Amino acid sequence: MKQKLTYEEQESRIKDLERNEAYYKLLADHSVDMISKHDPEGNYTYSSPACFDLIGYTSNELIGRNAYDLFHPDDIEEIKKSHEQVVNSRVVYTVSYRIRHKQGHYVWVETVSTIVTDPDSGEIKEIICTTRDISKRRQIEESLLLKEKIISSSAIAITIGDLDGNLIYGNPYFIDRWGFESPEDFVGKPFWNFWMVEEKLEQIMHTIKSGKPWEDENKAIRKDGSTFCVHVTAVAVFNDKGQPIALTSTSTDITDRKKTEEKLNEQTNTLNDILECAADGICVCHNIIEEPFVKFTHWNPKMNQITGYSIDEINRLGWYQSMYSNPEVQKKAIERMASMRLGDDIISEEWVITTKNKTQKVLSISTSVITKENDEIHVMAVMQDISERRHYQDQLIASQKEWEDIFQAIGQPTIILDPQNGIIKANKAALNITGLSEKQLTGRKCFDIFHTTVRPPESCPMEALLHKGSLETVEMVMEALGGTFLVSCTPIIDTNGNIEKIIHIATDITETKKLESHLRQALKMESIGTLTGGIAHDFNNIMGIIMGNAELALADVPEWNPGHSNLEEIKKASLRAANIVRQLLSFTRITDQKLQSMEIASVIKDALKFLRSTIPTTIGIEQNISVTDETILADPTQINQIMMNLCINASHAMEQSGGNITIIVENVTLDDNSAKDYPDLKSGKYVKVVVSDTGPGIDPKIIDRIFDPYFTTKGVGKGSGMGLAVVHGIVKNHSGYITVDSSSGKGTTFSILFPLAQGKSVVEEETIQEIPRGSESILFVDDEISIVNMVQRMFERLGYKVQTATTPQDALDRFTLNPSYFDLVITDMTMPQMTGVKLSEKLMDIRPDIPIIICTGHSALVDEEKAKELGLAAYLMKPINMKETAQTIRKILDKKEYTF
């Protein structure tokens, strides 16, 4: 229970309250901020005098007025929310808003409000507000916001960096134009990552840190690495103490401007070249007050030739005074110039002049008025010496005939058109290619003749000339003429500057397009050459290990043992795998081909016998082999491979519906004309092999890709896509040519031409021979330990004494200790630290007569010719075959001669 105050205590407290109230009122009355009190509904109950300076009202004018009446309508909602917050939470709140001045305009203010509550009931008694004018601060904030918006919306890239050149800001245009996804792509990274300025970096940093702007045109680097042209201005930002605190730059994309400048420069240079090389005299002059009335600013070499005067001489002596010796003619010329300057152009007017050497010439003069940017009028004149025209009419007629002869002699179909595409004249080549007479052509539309259409095609160069003013040379397929042509149009301009006629020249490039197509195909095949060779070495090593160990195991397992047949299958599979590598290397021309004269008919017949058992009975095989003992230079295995690949492809195409495969082998002779259809082939005698089927054919959309490696339309597990690529490579390596003719639903025909060879076939059937044995000492070197172990066991079974080494250095050390001990060295080609060739050279330095066999799975590193030049005994391709290797060893050791 509160203790009741005495009367004296109450009086003392009242006086204290009155003193405090007077003190606070004094503070409020002298405060620069407006201090006000409001009842809970927002009505003013008090306002300090500062209200007048702030909003133009006196304190009395505000008392009883509701504050909401003065608030800007757009701000009331925000003020109410703040008011509700302070009422609910009983905290001091600050809000910025606009309040209406007595004169009608609004003033930005900031108000800090607090509430006064009844100590007993807790109800709100009044609200006390302190209001401050923030107009200037708001202007600064809005100005900063505006600047930020200007920077953000600028169409110029703006960046800010620290003094080390690391970017800390880039506006949206910079982010977009440089291809960034977010500021994280560039913030913290040096600016020279995004502009090609590394060579100028020291100069740039020195210039801008010294307070000077650096400005230059440069290449900007996008995120994806592409570049474009920009104009860059970089400056340093300094604080009040004059110290640099940041670096900023602006970059303007000038790509279009640079292109325009380059185009303008090119056009200007072209125009200057034309003016300098023009067959007519061309000059530009303007009037001057002083004698001799005109001054020339351009005077091409032809003007020197026509008049005998240089530009300096004519400007010094005067045009009228020098050219016209007769005063009356001078006067006429001056008057004519004056009227021409008023718009009466001179068009091919004839004037007689006197040249420097006092001879007279008749000139045909045409002029045009050129108005400069400063409204100064210049005159361009084109002067043609026609002195002899009147005296040599016969020469003119002869010249016209000569032009006609040249026009008719042009090898390309050439026609002259009117601007409406009507044919005016055609040369002999045009008549021949269309099969029409000049009378039949004249008056008809060119697109009707060459394209059988009712309007010009979109790519027509004449349309580009007429509507865009551009001279274009366009490649066009003219189905009516059955070929592809390079078409160009050249305008003939009349004296009024209009297109009077168009010269239309069509160059037949059908054969060129065929050659280009063949060249592209050949380049595609060549481009994957290095890919195929890359796997040969390691793959052949693996196959050598498998095949060699299978051969060793076969010798240990009796034929009656079931494992013997399994080992035979392993050996056969290894041989097939090795043959696949051989196909790949053959396709890329990495292996050395052993071409020999062979009867192609017998090889193809043998291949077909084997194929019959592998192709379903629903598919028939028809043969029409008319050649007998004709021979070609070829590798029988690869010819067999061609037939296998083509026929198996054909059978796959017909496996659902059945059909027939037809093989034709015949002699053909190419003359000079027919040889043109086969690039790289010359006229002469050939054997033609045709493989055709009655399958669904090849889609025209993919026919250009069928010889690409790994391209296949078959399902998974039904083909590697190498079959036709291998065929293409084999045919090319045999100096032959392959074509394909197919359309959907009509089957496919492959035709191959092989050049006929002279002489008889040297292909002999292989005879079964025992594997030769021996007892000599052999040093075998290979970095594959599995191959080393396998070969050691293989040679030891054949009776040889074998030492092995898995590094070239180990082999060199063993040989150096006792060079005479070894009768033969066999080394791999590709090994770490030292190649087989290098090792061989070192061994022969120690003992020149040591026979060496070099083995390789990738003949691009060494071939027979190089091995022979090095003095090696033999050259073997991996994988190592026991029989072949044993026979080679005996040839060398028994006959003491090399196998080359």
Q: Going from the N-terminus, what domains does the chain have, and what CATH number goes with each? A: 20-140 (3.30.450.20), 154-258 (3.30.450.20), 278-385 (3.30.450.20), 393-508 (3.30.450.20), 596-755 (3.30.565.10), 777-895 (3.40.50.2300)
For residue 826, the cross-strand partners are 780, 853
Nearest to residue 858, comparing CAs of 832, 877, 884? 877
**Phi, psi (deg, nearest 5) at residue 633:** -85, 115
pLDDT at 267: 78
Query: Which of the 8 DSSP states describes residue 559?
Result: T
Strands 684-693 and 737-742: unpaired
User: Strand order in 619-625's β-sheet?
Assistant: 619-625, 659-670, 684-693, 748-755, 737-742
- The answer to whether 828 touches 540, Cβ cutoff 8 Å, is no
Q: Does 776 have pLDDT greater than 60?
A: yes
pLDDT at 534: 59
State the Cα torsion 805-810-816-821 to the nearest 10°: -20
- The answer to whether 751 touches 688, Cβ cutoff 8 Å, is yes
Q: Dig out the tokens for 652 from the structure.
A: 């796959």
pLDDT at 716: 43
Apex 139 CA angle, 135 and 140, nearest 5: 120
Q: What is the average pLDDT across 13-23?
A: 60
pLDDT at 817: 94
Q: What is the average pLDDT across 601-612?
A: 80
What is the band of 1 on the pLDDT scale with cuts at 50, 70, 90?
very low
Counting beta carbons within 10 angstroms of the beta carbon of residue 189, is it exposed (0 to 12), middle (13 to 18) or buried (19 or more)?
middle
Residue 849's SS3 state is: coil
Nearest to residue 722, comparing CAs of 714, 733, 713, 711? 711
- The answer to whether 532 touches 525, Cβ cutoff 8 Å, is no
Please state, in angstroms and as integers, the Cα–Cα distance from residue 627 to each residue in 678, 685, 750, 783, following that order.
22, 13, 18, 50
Rounded-to-integer distance, Cα 361 and Cα 354, Å? 7
Per mean pLDDT, which of 121-130, 163-172, 806-815 is the most reliable?
806-815
184-230 pLDDT tens trace? 888 888 988 888 888 888 888 888 888 888 888 888 889 898 988 88
pLDDT at 763: 46
124-145 pLDDT tens trace? 888 888 888 888 877 766 666 6
Nearest to residue 234, comparing CAs of 218, 249, 251? 249
861-898 pLDDT tens trace? 677 888 888 889 998 888 888 888 899 999 999 875 55
pLDDT at 292: 55
Amino acid at 711: F
Element (H, E) at 602: helix 600-612
623-663 pLDDT tens trace? 998 888 888 888 877 888 888 888 888 888 888 888 999 99
Q: Dig out the tokens for 324 from the structure.
A: 């016209």
**Phi, psi (deg, nearest 5) at residue 377:** -95, 125
Q: Dig out the tokens for 445 from the structure.
A: 């539309």
Write down the pTM of the prediction: 0.37
Angle between helix axes 529-556 and 562-587 (nearest 10 degrees) is 160
Rounded-to-integer distance, Cα 32 and Cα 49, Å? 9
Amino acid at 342: L
More confident residue, 253 or 854: 854
Strands 874-877 and 852-856: parallel
Angle between helix axes 562-587 and 723-733 (nearest 10 degrees) is 60
Q: Dig out the tokens for 766 from the structure.
A: 């292989």
Q: Dig out the tokens for 62 from the structure.
A: 């505000």
More confident residue, 584 or 111: 111
Q: DSSP E strands: which ranges in 770-849?
A: 777-781, 801-805, 824-828
Rounded-to-integer distance, Cα 666 and Cα 687, Å? 6
Number of C-beta neighbours around residue 548 at 10 A: 24
Q: Dig out the tokens for 526 from the structure.
A: 């060549």
Amino acid at 835: T
Q: Does 768 have pLDDT greater than 60?
A: no
Element (H, E) at 493: strand 483-493
Weakest-pLDDT range from 278-282, 764-768, 824-828, 890-894 = 764-768
Rounded-to-integer distance, Cα 896 and Cα 891, Å? 7
Rounded-to-integer distance, Cα 148 and Cα 335, Å? 65
Weakest-pLDDT range from 7-16, 31-40, 58-67, 273-282 = 7-16
State the Cα torsion 647-650-655-657 to the nearest 10°: -130
Q: End-to-end distance of the chain based on CA atoms, in angstroms? A: 130
Residues whose CB is less than 8 angstroms from the CB of residue 659 and which lie 6 or more positions away in sequence, other chains included: 618, 619, 620, 693, 694, 695, 747
pLDDT at 152: 63
Answer left, alpha or beta for residue 229, where phi above 0 means left and psi between -120 and 50 means alpha. Answer: beta
Rounded-to-integer distance, Cα 593 and Cα 867, Å? 16
Half-sphere exposure of 795 (CA within 13 A, CB side): 25
Q: What is the average pLDDT across 107-133?
A: 85
More confident residue, 290 or 346: 346
Please state, in angstroms and as integers, the Cα–Cα distance from residue 415 to each residue in 111, 396, 397, 509, following that order.
89, 23, 22, 18
- The answer to whether 109 touches 133, Cβ cutoff 8 Å, is yes
- The answer to whether 658 touches 713, Cβ cutoff 8 Å, is no
What is the band of 496 on the pLDDT scale with cuts at 50, 70, 90?
confident
Please state, in angstroms and as integers, the Cα–Cα distance from residue 2 to each residue in 5, 119, 696, 808, following that order.
9, 14, 113, 112
Q: What is the average pLDDT across 293-313?
A: 90
Rounded-to-integer distance, Cα 561 and Cα 566, Å? 9
pLDDT at 717: 43
Please state, in angstroms and as integers, the Cα–Cα distance from residue 672 to each residue in 508, 510, 675, 679, 683, following that order.
19, 18, 5, 12, 5
- The answer to whether 507 touches 486, Cβ cutoff 8 Å, is yes
Residue 865's SS3 state is: helix
Q: Dig out the tokens for 143 from the structure.
A: 């100005």
Strands 473-478 and 483-493: antiparallel
Rounded-to-integer distance, Cα 421 and Cα 415, Å? 11
Please state, in angstroms and as integers, the Cα–Cα distance from residue 819 to each residue in 697, 778, 799, 836, 895, following that order.
65, 11, 21, 18, 21
Rounded-to-integer distance, Cα 434 and Cα 427, Å? 11
What is the band of 849 on the pLDDT scale with cuts at 50, 70, 90?
very high
- The number of angstroms, rounded, from the C-alpha of 11 to the middle of its chain's C-alpha atoms is 98
521-558 pLDDT tens trace? 666 656 655 556 656 666 677 777 787 787 777 777 78
Answer left, alpha or beta for residue 558, where phi above 0 means left and psi between -120 and 50 means alpha. Answer: beta
- The answer to whether 602 touches 623, Cβ cutoff 8 Å, is no
In angstroms and rounded to an integer, the radius of gyration of the C-alpha atoms of the chain is 49
Weakest-pLDDT range from 547-551, 787-791, 815-819 = 547-551
Q: Dig out the tokens for 398 from the structure.
A: 């002869």
Question: How is 406-462 classified by DSSP, letter by letter?
Answer: HHHH-SS-EEEE-TTSBEEEE-HHHHHHHT--HHHHTTSBHHHHHH--SS--TT-HH
pLDDT at 589: 52
Nearest to residue 747, comparing CAs of 705, 689, 674, 690? 690
Strands 777-781 and 801-805: parallel
Nearest to residue 728, comparing CAs of 515, 586, 530, 577? 586
